[in-house]
Amino acid sequence: MRIRVVLAMGIAALLLTAGCTYEAGLPADNETATTTGSGTGSEAPTTTVGDGTDVRPDPPADRIGWENGVWYDDELPITEADGLDDSELRLVVDRAMARVERVRDLEFERNVSVEVITREQYRERNVFDFRDDPFENQVYEALFLVGEDTSAATAFESLYGGSVAGYYYDGQIVVVGDDSTAVTVDRGTLAHELTHALQDQQLGSAGPGRTTDRRTAYQALPEGEANYVLDRYEERCASEWACIAPVNSTSSGQYNRGLFLTLFLPYSDGPDLVGELVERGEDWTAVNDAWSDPPASTEQVIHPEKYPDEEPAVVDLPDRSDGEWEVVSSRGRAADTVGEAGVFAMLWANGVVPKENLFDDADRYNYSHPASAGWGGDTVRAYERDGDYAYVWRTVWDTERDAREFRDAYRELLASKGAVERGDGRYRVEDGNFADAFRVQRTGDTVTIVNAPTVADLDDVYERGGSRAGVPTPLTREGSESSDGRPALAP
């Protein structure tokens, strides 16, 4: 079961009183709550919940747009100013479930519980089990997002610890709230997490892949769908539904913005992918089908027109290290793929891509830039020798021009770190959190980057000529061999 997370920096927080637990559809003892109106101001049929008499007849069986005695267009007799009591919270969640059904055109099969905990309790639970991982450290160091002064686990723990507003896991919504005496609910985050609950109940999944790129691409489907539903939900709140007021989000002011970008793509660009699928089928059919064939790369998410036909290339990266450097593995992985989103985050966070590029779209972050567009595939491999670490990162591009653009952008990044060229594509950064030696080499549409503690170590980590190991012939996107020994990418 995957954990679905709401990040407060990008999505409004859902804040409830710490310690509350509510399961939709389970009435409080001896409660009577009446819903009236249709949300439009007219005297539409009404529903009475609890011990009262039904004024608007309940359907003979559960149906889309009705949950536990509450219709999607009901107004609720609640007072938000002093917070919600248990019966009011019950009505809010039931109506939100009915509205998510109405937008998504799927029926909840069972109730959804909501638990609220403090941020301190959230940190104590260690939901995401952050552990120091030398392999992961090297992957994010290769992206210049996590330096040698910290670890990826520490950076992720700081990011999640201060920004997560809630998550859905195994049939339950868990909300991370402020320590407050009043129960308040942000309608947007509630709708977002309820969409995840509906997905869990109704839609199967092929599951995420093993690489960073495939996992992020996979998340674009559930998170993109949840935000797409949320957008439609908010449109109706602005035009035809009576809705509770939104709640201002809270989040930590200090966080790794480059690392955050690698996580936020599914929330930002996922809705566009889902929207395109809705347009292709003129309904939710194509979206439902995508759950058995999720995006294979962040490239397909950033450029929805490439889904599902343009698969990422298989990028072979043989081990050419000497006998002293050993391949580092983690959780069964000896290599990773960071994808177009990772490349963009690296270049943006380090000032190569202008800051304003990210914000030139009013509706989402813009993850596309000439220096990262044209990505075809990549592989990162980490090495260790007596406590020192190194890595090799090979990227493949759609065209030689794309490869040159990336190489030049990468050189600009090195220059921003004070790198000094040592000849033959070799560079040395003397000071700072990324002080190391680098070799940058382009061959056709392939760029290979080697990192090591010193310039003298570069060939020991990855011998340039390849005499230590034969180079396997790379595969095309379709799986056939290319005539020149390099990936022959589909146009």
Q: What is the pLDDT of residues 252-267, one digit of tens each?
A: 567 899 999 999 999 9
Q: Are residues 239 and 365 in the same domain?
A: no
Taking a C-beta distance cutoff of 8 angstroms, is the pair 444, 400 a contact?
yes
At residue 491, the pLDDT reads 23
Q: Are residues 296 and 414 in the same domain?
A: no
In a domain, 490, yes or no: no
**Confidence check: pLDDT of 16 > 50:** no
% of the chain residues with pLDDT over 70: 80
At residue 247, the pLDDT reads 74
At residue 416's C-alpha, the angle toward residues 412 and 418, to 5°, is 115
In a domain, 244, yes or no: yes
Q: Are residues 90 and 30 in the same domain?
A: yes
Measuring CA to CA, how many Å separate 414 from each of 31, 146, 303, 376? 65, 15, 28, 22
Q: Are residues 290 and 375 in the same domain?
A: no
**Average pLDDT of every residue of the chain:** 83
Q: Are residues 336 and 435 in the same domain?
A: yes
Q: Are residues 274 and 298 in the same domain?
A: yes
In a domain, 357, yes or no: yes
Q: Are residues 429 and 301 in the same domain?
A: no
**Confidence check: pLDDT of 33 > 60:** no
Among 10, 9, 291, 5, CA closest to 173: 5
DSSP 109: -
The more confidently predicted of residues 426 and 43 is 426
End-to-end CA distance of the chain: 37
In a domain, 487, yes or no: no
Torsions phi, psi for 307 (to 5 deg): -95, 135
Instruction: For residues 27-34, give the mean pLDDT.
Output: 34
Selection from 107-121, 192-206, 245-259, 477-491 with the highest mean pLDDT? 192-206
When mean pLDDT is compared across 43-47, 63-67, 85-89, 189-193, the lowest value belongs to 43-47
In a domain, 479, yes or no: no
In a domain, 24, yes or no: yes
Q: Which of 238, 270, 305 is the last residue of a domain?
A: 305
Among 95, 97, 93, 117, CA closest to 107: 97
Q: Are residues 144 and 250 in the same domain?
A: yes
Torsions phi, psi for 421 (to 5 deg): -75, 135
In a domain, 477, yes or no: no
Among 409, 378, 373, CA closest to 396: 378
At residue 3, the pLDDT reads 66
Q: Are residues 323 and 240 in the same domain?
A: no
In the structure, what pLDDT confidence band is assigned to residue 25 with cuts at 50, 70 and 90?
very low
* DSSP assignments along 385-434, one per residue: ETTEEEEEEEEEESSHHHHHHHHHHHHHHHHHTT-EEEETTEEE--SSTT
Instruction: For residues 472-479, give the mean pLDDT.
Output: 34
Number of domains within the chain: 2
Q: Which of 280, 305, 330 is the last residue of a domain?
A: 305
Instruction: For residues 478-487, give the mean pLDDT.
Output: 30
Q: Which domain holds residue 101?
A: 4-305
Selection from 75-79, 143-147, 189-193, 252-256 with the highest mean pLDDT? 143-147
* DSSP assignments along 246-313, one per residue: P------S---HHHHHHHHHHHHTHHHHHHHHHHHHTSSHHHHHHTTS--SSHHHHHSGGGTTT-PPP
Q: Are residues 237 and 291 in the same domain?
A: yes
Among 375, 368, 372, 369, CA closest to 395: 375
In a domain, 456, yes or no: yes
Taking a C-beta distance cutoff of 8 angstroms, is the pair 164, 5 a contact?
yes
Give the tokens for residue 387: 């406590």
In the structure, what pLDDT confidence band is assigned to residue 186 with cuts at 50, 70 and 90?
confident
One-letter identity of residue 246:
P
pTM, to two decimals: 0.84
Instruction: For residues 93-110, give the mean pLDDT.
Output: 97
| Virtual torsion, Cα 130, 166, 201, 240, nearest 10 deg | -150
At residue 37, the pLDDT reads 35
In the structure, what pLDDT confidence band is assigned to residue 332 with cuts at 50, 70 and 90?
confident
When mean pLDDT is compared across 249-258, 340-349, 435-444, 449-458, the lowest value belongs to 249-258
Q: Which residue has the tokens 């940058």?
A: 440
Q: Are residues 285 and 415 in the same domain?
A: no
Q: Are residues 343 and 364 in the same domain?
A: yes
